[in-house]
Structure 1
Amino acid sequence: MITVENLSKSFWGNTGPVVALDDVTLEVPTGTITGVVGPSGSGKSTLARLVALQERPDSGVIRVDGFNTAALDPRRLRAARRRIGVVAKGELLPQRTAAGNIALPLEQAGVDGPQRREKVGKLLDLIGLTDKAARYPDTLTPGQRARVEVARALVGDPGLLLADDPTHELGTDAAAGVLTVLDRARAELGATVLVVTSDAGVVRRIADDVALLESGKVTERGNLLALVQDPTSRVARELLPAIDAPEEAAAGHDRVAEVVLVGFAAVGALLPEATARYGAAISVIGGGLTRIGETPVARFLLGVSGGHADAALGWIAERGGLVRQRVSGLHGIAAAA
């Protein structure tokens, strides 16, 4: 496990000191994928370098498996660094094949040929590029090169895999391939993964936990599925489908409510069952479906009519749906049921 406690870091700029991180606390639980999301300049890359033990903070503590890295002697600090695999973008050697690039850290560590070949073969299979083992970087697509970079970071069996904006400047399909590899690294190799990114879609696709970093401060953090059910969550607003419905769509309904449903059973069954139980007419007038990892999540704007409209919405809330009734058009939210 990696924990960051009250971490601060400043740099000297043209106009004086610039605060990159300000009292940041973060936990990356073992066996999870944790995402740190934030805009450009929020301090994400600085945090990544500090967690990778490439730089020292001005204050605060970074713990690796419970050990305060600031108190480690040089030998133990090097050992701690080896427990962290860093996905280094743009650093593949052009004169080495994909397999040769993955094998390089093993060669430098003195691992013998048969062991190297076995390890590299397994990682090429993990990233889906066994047939590209003998190809050179300039003959690979950007997405394939990014997957080779992930494999090279995994070759030393790190406890933590750290990826800084791993899908930056990649197309949709190439980015999906890289995220699949990160997810497989956690599922099949048992790696703990920390991803820092400016793309909320990356977090939605693979993260278990998330922290929102803004202007060097963590302004929100928690389990992703819990946050999407929090009506005050800014992360949820970024990840859930937008509700884009004209004012007139709400006309003619006794109640208008925003509803968030999480899980296969909730998304597939709650609305039809509420209709059957209470005889209410329930119409979806805005919103849509998405996935948080493999879990379906819906955010709908519902129009509900009938004498038992309130009871139907209350029943949905009792079964885990987040329900907020709107009483003055699409922008007037009265309360959460």
Structure 2
Amino acid sequence: MITVDNLVKSFPARGGAVRALDGVTLEVQAGAVCGVVGPSGSGKSTLARCIALLERPDSGAIRVDGTDLVTLDGNRLRAARRQIGVVPQGDSLLRQRTAAGNVALPLETAGVDGPTRRRRVGELLDLVGLTDKAASYPDQLSGGQRQRIAVARALAANPSVLLADEPTSALDPETTGSVLTVLDRARAELGVTVVVVTHDMAVVRRICDDVAVLDGGRIVENGRLLDLVSDVDSRTANALLPALDQTDGIAGDHDRVADVVLVGFAAVGALLPEASNRFGVDLAVLGGGLTRLGETPVARFRLGLTGERADSALEWISEAGALVRRTPKGPQGVAA
């Protein structure tokens, strides 16, 4: 588990210090993938560097599996850092080393013997799907392959935490997918807790369990991804869920209009047809659509309901676990 408590970090600048992190508090459960997102300059990369103790915070605590890294120094700090693998932003491989040589570098530095080192490198190349590229040099690899080798290198010392700073920056969608698959496998097969710093919400949609949104050095939104998208006012929901078109003209043709968020296979597949049949109302989808968050389908629809029991249908949909918000169409513009 990673716990960040009231973290503050400033950098000197003309006219005074710039506060990059301003009282950041965050908890990431063991074995989860947490996406740290936000606009440029919001403090995302600074937070990742502080968690890895590549930057020393001005104040606050950073606990990994209960140990406050900020209080450590010398050998204890070096040992703690080995529990945190880092995938830096950009191309970080050594050009004079092969793919296998890059992965082996942390093991060589730690004094791991040759047979153990070769076995571990082989396991990691298999994990990232690049066993056949072991003898290739970085300039012979694609950008996505280099990033996958960087992930393998970060995992070499069996860390409990993996920090990836913009791991898919400048990669095409197909290549991005291969890198994200590797990060997800690291979590699933090795039990690593993963923190991904990204500006790309597609990364969050694909692999993240939790999200922390930074703005101006502060966390303005934080929690389980599926909980956040169930709040239609959240930044996460607005960034990830299908957009709702303007439907003012169409909305007037219905007795009730509501925005509905459905999470999970059962809700997305059956809830609305069952409500229509149960209460004898006609349901029309006026806007929105369907997406996936990891393996979970999530829908956001603007619905038009026609029939005497439209209100009852909306109440039943809400009681069944969907988020229902009625749009301001007359006196019924209240959340169900």
Aligned residues, how many?
Answer: 335
Contact 2:95 2:138 in 1 (8 A): yes
Deviations 1:158-197 (A, max 9, x none): 0100011111111111111111111100000110101111
> Which runs of no fewer than 5 residues in structure 1 stay unpaired?
none
Task: After TM superposition, give the deviation of residue 251 of structure 1 in Å.
Answer: 3.2
The one-letter amino acid paired with 1:181 is: V
Q: Decide whether the 8 Å contact of 2:167 with 2:179 is kept in 1.
A: yes
Q: For structure 2, which runs of at least 5 residues remain unmatched after alignment?
A: none
Distance 1:43 1:73 in 2: 25
SS at match of 1:16: coil
Q: Distance in 1 between matches of 2:169 and 2:183?
A: 15
Answer yes or no: is 1:142 the counterpart of 2:159: no
Shift of 1:268: 0.3
Tell me, what secondary structure is at the counterpart of 2:93? Answer: coil
Equivalent in the alignment of 1:9: 9
Cα shift at 1:50: 0.5
Q: What is the aligned partner in structure 2 of residue 131 from structure 1?
A: 132
Shift of 1:300: 0.4
Please show how residues 1-337 of structure 1 align to structure 2 within 5 Å: 1-88=1-88, 89-328=90-329, 334-337=333-336
Task: Say which SS state the counterpart of residue 12 (structure 2) adopts.
Answer: strand
How far residue 333 of structure 1 moved from its aligned partner, in angstroms, is 8.4
Q: Is the 8 A contact 1:324 1:333 kept in 2?
A: no
| Aligned amino acid, residue 325 of structure 1 | R
Bigger mean CA offset, 85-94 vs 244-253: 244-253
Instruction: Name the SS of the counterpart of 2:167 in structure 1.
Output: coil
CA distance in 1, matches of 2:73, 2:133: 41
Residues 256 and 329, structure 2, Cα contact 8 Å, conserved in 1: no
**TM-superposed deviation, 1:237:** 1.2
- The structure 1 segments of at least 4 consecutive aligned residues displaced by more than 4 Å after TM superposition are none
> Could you tell me how far 1:259 is from its partner in structure 2?
0.3
Aligned mates of 1:177, 1:70 — CA distance in 2? 34
The answer as to whether partners of 2:204 and 2:211 remain within 8 angstroms in 1 is: yes
After superposition, give the CA deviation of every residue in 1:67-92 in whole Å (9 maximum; x if it has no partner). Answer: 22232231111111110000134221
User: Quick check: 125-134 or 310-319, which moved more?
Assistant: 125-134
The 8 Å contact of residues 102 and 153 in structure 2, kept in 1 or not, is answered as yes
* Whole-angstrom CA distance in 2 between matches of 1:255 and 1:70: 56
Contact 2:257 2:329 in 1 (8 A): no
Q: Secondary structure at the match of 1:149?
A: helix
How many angstroms does 1:298 deviate by? Answer: 0.3
Q: In 1, distance between residues paired with 2:143 and 2:187? A: 23
Greater Cα offset, 2-11 or 64-73: 64-73
Measure how far apart 1:15 and its partner are. Answer: 2.8
TM-score of the pair, normalised by structure 2: 0.96
How far residue 335 of structure 1 moved from its aligned partner, in angstroms, is: 1.9
Q: What is the root-mean-square deviation in Å for CA atoms of aligned residues?
A: 1.5
Of residues 109-118 and 31-40 in structure 1, the stretch that sits farther from structure 2 once superposed is 109-118
Q: Distance in 2 between matches of 1:333 and 1:70?
A: 54
CA-to-aligned-CA distance 1:122-170 (integer Å, 9 cap, x gap)? 1111111122222111111111111111110001110100011111111
- Give the secondary-structure state (helix, strand or coil) at the position aligned to 1:176: helix
Structure 1 counterpart of 2:35, one-letter code: G
CA contact (8 A) 1:123 1:155 kept: yes
Q: Which moved more, 1:308-317 or 1:154-163?
A: 308-317
The one-character-per-residue Cα deviations of 1:219-276 (angstroms, maximum 9, x if unpaired) are 1111111111123322111111111244323231111110000000000000111111
Output the CA distance in 2 between the equivalents of 1:231 and 1:245.
16
- Is the 8 Å Cα contact of residues 255 and 327 (structure 1) preserved in structure 2? no
SS of 1:148's partner is: helix
Instruction: Give the whole-Å Cα distance in 2 for the aligned partners of 1:78 and 1:31.
Output: 23
SS in 2 for 1:277: helix
Contact 1:123/1:151 (8 A) holds in 2 = yes
Give distance in 2, aligned partners of 1:72 and 1:136.
37
